[in-house]
Amino acid sequence: MKKPYFRATASDPQPLRCRVERVVRFEEVDPLAIVWHGRYPSYFEDGRVLLGERYGLGYLDLFQHGIVAPIKQLHVDYQRPLRFGELFTIEAILHWSDAVRLNHEFILRNAVGEVTTTGYTVQLLMNKEEQVLMLPPAFYAEFRQRWQAGELV
């Protein structure tokens, strides 16, 4: 079993999840017809955007509250290649954090359910002046309360 990307405690609420299906496009592959390694961050983005929109943490939601969320860390583990024309799913998972940040994990699976790629991103929450927030803004604090109460899962 692989080591978890993010540690959880017994008091943490269940992670939030969503899945999106994609097909590998021609522009995403290298001359060997496998997905070029540099495309995987955009696949992660597809999952992150859907998850954010589903739970009210999309980029526009953050922006309306004066918040930006730049990527602080990006990590990718490649297990097997995806190929041109192949159907695959992206599972995006938001893990609880006591810090004012977003910890996303990603699991990509091919059409037969084999894990092809895993990884994670960490996003900091900052104000529009690019100052890192040490305390959650009101809308995010409310979101976290609903998450902890089990209203979002």
Task: Give the model's pLDDT for residue 124.
Answer: 96
Structurally, at CATH architecture level, domain 16-148 sits in Roll (3.10)
What letter does residue 111 receive in the DSSP assignment?
T
Q: Rounded to two decimals, what is the model's pTM?
A: 0.95
Cα dist from 147 to 13, 62, 77, whole Å: 7, 17, 28
Question: Mean pLDDT across the stretch 115-139?
Answer: 96
In the chain, what are the domain boundaries? Answer: 16-148
In a 3-state reduction of DSSP, which class is residue 84? coil
Please name which of 105, 116, 77, 109 lies closest in space to residue 6, comparing C-alpha atoms: 105
Tell me: the pLDDT tens digits for 5-33? 999 999 999 999 999 999 999 999 999 99
